[in-house]
């Protein structure tokens, strides 16, 4: 039952989300965006590249999850075939048990107590927890991007944007997804911390815990579906992204100091730090600074023509290749 729940329900839903993210990554591949490290303005990226990161991360864990197998046992009350052997001593019980368990598509666990030890089950749910954490990370990013006006949320007819402030459209789907991911992971943590532990040859604590498997998958699927709904409501605010990039020419300091290092310029980092750190400078200030540098003319021309919008490296290519 758990195997079919994971394979035919959970994985299929997660694949739908990954497909949606991959589509968005390609559509947004060439839309430049200011990035933020430590909450501060940083080297530009593209919207699509940031989406492709989550496609890669989710696929990596999802592929591991697809390879995991549920385990099964068929070896008697404490795992020794005691009653089997006393009744039918001439039968190869280990061979029969293996064939029987594997006929259900399960991995045969030969060494158990009264219960299957749940190690495989905990590995499966550990990977679901990792997937939920990645989704939670994505939801948090989307919440932040919406708050910074990087995305515009569509006005859905009949939907309450805010309970008391009519002008607002709250990112409710991503918030809902976060809550459900956390609920699922809270229960999974109980699984992992308890299911592998059974006093001596068995106690009954695992039986009550296992009854929450359906809840974990349900919370996880609600989280996935809410993120997909949230994504379908969004449009990239290209004008705002461009305006923000135009207003942050200081992010080109990385490019300038790198070219200075290439030209064996002494104290390259410190020089750019003095010019740009904590200052509201214009693109013209940077260009005038570059014009007076004694560096290779081709490098100088490249820097003079550079804008934050163009300073995206291989972001577009990376977004399209994933």
**Active site positions, annotated:** 38, 162
**Close Cβ partners of 236 (under 8 Å, ≥ 6 residues apart):** 28, 31, 47, 150, 151, 152
- Residue 14, both tokens: 């997660």
Whole-number Cα distances in Å, 87 to 77, 113, 114, 115: 14, 20, 19, 22
**Whole-angstrom Cα distance, residue 174 to residue 167?**
19
Q: What angle do CA 196, 201, 203 make, to 5 degrees?
A: 65
Cβ(23)–Cβ(231) under 8 Å? no
* Residue for token pair 């200011």: 34
Burial class (CB in 10 A: 0-12, 13-18, 19+), 218: middle
**Whole-angstrom Cα distance, residue 89 to residue 84?**
7
Q: What angle do CA 160, 165, 167 make, to 5 degrees?
A: 80
């Amino acid at each position: 039952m758990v195997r079919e729940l994971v394979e035919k329900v959970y994985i299929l839903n997660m694949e739908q989300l990954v497909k949606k993210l991959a589509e968005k990554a390609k559509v947004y591949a060439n839309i430049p965006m200011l990035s933020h490290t430590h909450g501060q303005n940083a080297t530009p990226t593209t919207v699509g590249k940031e989406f492709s990161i989550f496609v890669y991360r989710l696929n990596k864990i999802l592929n591991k999850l697809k390879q995991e197998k549920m385990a099964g046992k068929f070896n008697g009350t404490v795992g020794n075939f005691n009653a089997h052997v006393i009744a039918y001593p001439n039968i190869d019980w280990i061979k029969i048990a293996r064939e029987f368990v594997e006929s259900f598509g399960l991995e045969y666990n030969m060494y158990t107590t009264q219960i299957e030890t749940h190690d495989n089950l905990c590995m499966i749910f550990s990977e679901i927890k990792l997937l939920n954490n990645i989704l939670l990370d994505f939801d948090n990013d989307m919440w932040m991007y919406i708050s910074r006006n990087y995305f515009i949320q569509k006005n859905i007819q009949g939907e309450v944007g805010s309970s008391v402030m009519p002008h607002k459209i709250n990112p409710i789907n991503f918030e809902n997804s976060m809550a459900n991911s956390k609920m699922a992971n809270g229960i999974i943590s109980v699984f992992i911390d308890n299911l592998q532990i059974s006093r001596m040859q068995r106690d009954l604590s695992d039986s009550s815990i296992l009854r929450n498997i359906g809840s974990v998958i349900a919370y996880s699927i609600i989280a996935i579906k809410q993120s997909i709904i949230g994504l379908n409501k969004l449009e990239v605010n290209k004008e705002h992204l461009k305006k923000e990039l135009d207003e942050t020419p200081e992010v080109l300091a990385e490019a300038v100091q790198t070219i200075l290092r290439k030209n064996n310029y002494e104290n390259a980092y410190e020089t750019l730090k003095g010019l740009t750190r904590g200052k509201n400078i214009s693109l013209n200030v940077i260009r005038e600074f570059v014009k007076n540098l004694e560096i290779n003319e081709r490098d100088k021309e490249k820097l003079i023509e550079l804008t934050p919008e163009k300073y995206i490296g291989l972001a577009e290519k990376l977004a399209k290749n994933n």
